[in-house]
Structure 1
Amino acid sequence: MEDKYKQCLMMERTDDETPRFRRHRIVQVTLHEPAYLHCIIPQFSHNLHKPIFRFHSKIIEVAWTRVSDEALLTAGESSFTSDPRFQVSVKSSNADWVLIIRRSEKSDTGCYLCEVNTEPKSTVYAVYLNVIDSLFFLKLCSISIPERTTRLMANMIGDEVLLNCTITVTNESNSLDDEVQWSRDGRPIDFSNSNKYISKVKRDSRTIIHTLRILGASSEDDGNYACRAVDAPESSHMLHVNSSKLTLFKK
């Protein structure tokens, strides 16, 4: 896989050395799990709340393609593939265009390109996806991955609900990934709705705390909230908001 990964990165055309994006250059998921391929474009963050935006009076568009068959998967927020597993989600707060592959298959393994039609030439970000068998993943975990724990806590301040997802690793020499997947009733939280959801991250060498703030919380926000990180178990709570009072039910 290393050679294919290197070949994938050679297709990149960008001067961006942002560490946060570079961590997402390779994505590994188990078979039939969803895959999230990130395309963070910080230099356009003030304009990327729309699928098509302007930069220096030029209309800019973001597109995802699959290298193996040169298929155009998405352009803006529109899908150009008949495969319903593929969709794009835009996180305007950090200019992150996420290609989502529901129920990933082994055949999805390969190189994906995120292209932005900048001047004088397009900017291209490369992401390599590796889909592995569940049994191989379990064997890999038992050999090389340190024990990780996930704990989800919730409280209410005024009309805001705060969910703190704490991920801890027992071995200080092993780093923690900055990403966590938030969901409500099994569906990803839509962080493009910044009037409703705000996320923050705090970390040290062994612990990382992801905080999800739900603004103006009401009974309409009731549901099962869960957080999940790479190589760490999922933790969830059933939340019920009633008259500015929060009730928790551990699932």
Structure 2
Amino acid sequence: MAVFLTLAFIVGCVCVLVCECSMGLYQGPYFPRPQPRNVTVHQSSQARLPCTVKQLGNKSVTWVRKRDADILTVGLYTFISDERFSVLFSPQTATWTLVIKFVQERDAGTYECQVSTEPKMALHVNLNVIVPVVQIVGGEEKFVRRGSTAKLECQVSSTNQLPDFIFWYHGDRRVLQAEHPRLSIREWRRGGEGSEMSMTSMVTISRVRPDDAGNYTCSPSNLHSFTTSLHVLKDEHPAAVQSGCGGGGGIATILPVLLVVLCLALSSPAVETPSQGKTPREELHQKKQNLRLLQQQSQKKKKKEKPLQQSWTKKGPRHHGEFGQHMLASRRCQVFGSTYQESIA
């Protein structure tokens, strides 16, 4: 009988404790486990950072950005002026979710979910932002010869989730292999995590025609698109077109420039090269002496030319006719040629 009463007492105590625990009478707010601590999203997508708080009571939940200690939300109210931030509350799960729209690379970092207890309770959630790479091999322009084969290869990498499919567009029309007998589309994937994952889609156009030219867009299902312009060449060389020179226009443009440079080189006076064996000071002294001699010769020529011009001005070519004009020209040439002789009165 005593054993039976003892067992009944123990069962009663357990029931009381279970009832108290179920009613939450013995503890305050707490973070149930497990909870996600790392969230990874693509750039320009939407990020959701959850924070579940049980038995919150009359306490409040605040989201704080750890980098600058900026208060983002308090309860259901948004305090930051950035309209990309907001908070959602689910009564069923007691979860306060911080929502960030159009995530940028600068949004990456740690965010803190705080409960207004004393001391404060905090749960840290890390946001990782991946910038996916979508590109067409060869860049934004491609050049092919008419009648040859063109290959457009779109590569998707640096992503946490590969696209389900990649669509191609020529202008605003979707490229469908069934509608183009000269066209084929192939896709292949490479597994792994993060930057190791990749997906490639290749469009091959055989016997290229002029109407195949235009903009081709690679559009993954979950990422941004990339566009390249296909140019179909007739007779030009692709390298010449890419560099901005077409056909023989480059030679026709350069030839006049070469002729002008050659004429300037022939007409320019020879530059005196410094003599060997002289110091720079001696060379400078020699140049000064040459300059003085040139100035003295120029002054002598001016003095001798002046009476000659006056003599012929007094008599004038009109007194001597054509012969006088020829003589004047002859005397002037002799003066400037430094072979001056006395004028004839």
TM-score relative to the length of structure 2 = 0.32
More helix by share: 2
Which has the larger Rg?
Answer: 2
More strand by share: 1
Relative contact order (C-alpha < 8 Å, sep 6+): which is higher?
Answer: 1
